[in-house]
A and B are shown apart, each in its own frame.
Chain A
Amino acid sequence: MSPHILPHLNKYRAWIVLALTGLLIALAPLPSRITTPTERHFRVEARSFEYHPAVLRANLGDRVTIELVPMDVVHGIYIDGYDLELHADPGQTEELIFIADRPGTFRFRCSVTCGALHPFMIGKLQVGPNSLLWRGAGLATLAALAGAWKLRR
């Protein structure tokens, strides 16, 4: 950059710092805890109209086994993003085995019409840390700080 422009830029220094910090929060690679893939076994009890447990956590690369145990009527499980489906009758436990190879948080829901509140029978599968949440929180904090700083000036 030529020295002619530098004083010009100086005027916007605060904005540049802000934008760079924002980019850093949004895109910087997180210090990844290196985890060796393991076996994860979940026994998910399904009853009208809930899963127990409703939140399943796994790390990237884990071999996940979901054992679906319907407690009252025929229930199923459909995992968005992974495109996996399974359903089972009470008394006939079924298993779903897959490799958690996509990071993120995925909604799973009942795939068999099980009653009036069937559409609300949902749970979630978390694969890896929820970086979207932390990055979003960081950006929100940055925006709040910037606003406070602007007001004080």
Chain B
Amino acid sequence: MKAERLARLFVIGLFLGLPLAILIARWLPPGSASEQTVEMHAKMAESGGWTPSDLTAEVGEPLHFRLTSDDVVHGFAIGQSDWPAVDVNPGEVTEATITFEKPGKYVFYCTRWCGPGHWRMRGVIEVSGRTAAEQEIEQPLYAVLGLDIDAPHLAAVIPLQRPSARRGASLGIPIPKMFQDPEYLRRHSPAETWSILRADTFTQELNDDQVWDLVALAWQNSTSSAALALGQQLYTQNCAACHGETGSGEGVMATSISPEAQPTAESGHDHRPPANFTDPEMMLGASPALLQGKIIRGGMGSGMPYWGPIFTEEQTWALVDYLWTFQFDLY
């Protein structure tokens, strides 16, 4: 008799306890789990981009991602961080765990060309922490200088032949100290530097193109092969699809963002083609700071993405340095 009562109690306990346990497990705050798991779906920008695209996280708490794609191959990376990009393939789940060390707004973005609107595939992770972002945000150089990025910047003089740093070095003329300062060069366009050098007395013996070679030499001194390599890598990954592998502005995507290919209202793209970095008039009239501004802000009526939240300052300068190789023979 006692055994039967025990059995009944057990059955009742089972019937009541099990749903109760499930309910309690559901209602418990998710914070009790040490990791926050985000299931994220990637779609082409035209059909929705990232879902979810707004995330929150805590400093020091790992954020666990389960990434998958609903259409084509995408990539996932976080701007201004060293965290390596991962591929997001359809039909597969990519797992990734990220721990943020500093509070702030992080932009995550797609790293594989997934269509004309590829760069629009972005989302935000807001990371909060006890230590508020105390450090002052430094203004980029173009903003400090107050440059008008959209103003025309045509060089008044252009070289007849492609300036070469090697030829400049073989002239055996020491470059004045002023032009050895990278900060100076970043604020001035090559054409300005050329005019100042031309007007100087020590260049009287040289012809115009030899002065251009000196400008190329000054530019070479202000960069390093490591920066150029980083710039080239960033360029091929992020810029070459529109600006072309040769920098001529005739990348494979250039046709699909032209106004004939897509109505402006729908694509958000305007009438201008991607910039041609091999055009000396346009490039030699621009200062590195101006190019930095263009990269950070984007726009320019050509549908240029804004890279401010993606590239670190070092990466942006490396990219600017690399752009000069379309004008100068630096090595």
Contact B115 A91 (CB under 8 A): no
Chain A residues with CB below 8 A from B251, complex form: 90-91
Give CA–CA (A149, B257) in the complex, Å. Answer: 64
Give CA–CA (A116, B44) in the complex, Å. Answer: 12
In the complex, how many angstroms separate the beta carbon of A34 from the nearest chain B beta carbon? 39
In the complex, how many angstroms separate the beta carbon of A146 from the nearest chain B beta carbon? 52
Instruction: Spot the interface stretch: A14-22, A50-58, A67-75, A123-131.
Output: A67-75
Contact A113 B89 (CB under 8 A): yes
In the complex, how many angstroms separate the beta carbon of B231 from the nearest chain A beta carbon? 15
Chain A residues with CB below 8 A from B240, complex form: 91-92
Give CA–CA (A114, B256) in the complex, Å. Answer: 17
Contact A91 B242 (CB under 8 A): yes
- Is B241 an interface residue when CB atoms closer than 8 A count as contact? yes
Contact A72 B71 (CB under 8 A): no
- Is B311 an interface residue when CB atoms closer than 8 A count as contact? no
Chain A residues with CB below 8 A from B113, complex form: 70, 72-74, 89-91
Interface residues in A53-105 by Cβ distance below 8 A to B read 69-74, 89-93
Give CA–CA (A112, B69) in the complex, Å. Answer: 13
Interface residues in B231-281 by Cβ distance below 8 A to A read 236-237, 239-242, 244-245, 251-253, 256
Give CA–CA (A115, B47) in the complex, Å. Answer: 12
In the complex, how many angstroms separate the beta carbon of A121 from the nearest chain B beta carbon? 12
Contact A72 B253 (CB under 8 A): yes
- B252 in complex: contacting residue of A70, A114, A115, CB < 8 Å: A70
In the complex, how many angstroms separate the beta carbon of A49 from the nearest chain B beta carbon? 11
- A69 in complex: contacting residue of B71, B89, B112, B252, CB < 8 Å: B252
Contact B242 A113 (CB under 8 A): no
Contact B241 A114 (CB under 8 A): no
- Could you mark each residue 58-84 of chain B with 1 if its beta carbon is under 8 Å from any beta carbon of chain A, else 0? 000000000001011100000000000
- B236 in complex: contacting residue of A74, A92, A114, CB < 8 Å: A92
Contact B241 A89 (CB under 8 A): yes
Chain A residues with CB below 8 A from B72, complex form: 73-74, 112-115
- Is B114 an interface residue when CB atoms closer than 8 A count as contact? yes
Closest to A87 in B: B73
Give CA–CA (A72, B252) in the complex, Å. Answer: 7
18 A-B pairs with C-beta separation under 8 A: A70-B113, A70-B252, A72-B252, A74-B72, A74-B114, A89-B112, A89-B113, A89-B237, A90-B241, A90-B252, A91-B113, A91-B241, A91-B252, A113-B69, A113-B72, A113-B89, A113-B91, A116-B71
Chain A residues with a Cβ under 8 A of chain B? 69-74, 89-93, 112-116
9 smallest CB-CB distances across A and B, nearest first, come from A91-B240, A91-B241, A90-B241, A90-B113, A71-B252, A113-B90, A74-B73, A90-B252, A89-B113
- Known contacts A89-B237, A90-B253, A112-B72; 12 additional CB pairs below 8 A are A72-B115, A73-B72, A74-B72, A74-B113, A89-B113, A90-B251, A90-B252, A91-B237, A91-B241, A91-B251, A113-B73, A113-B90
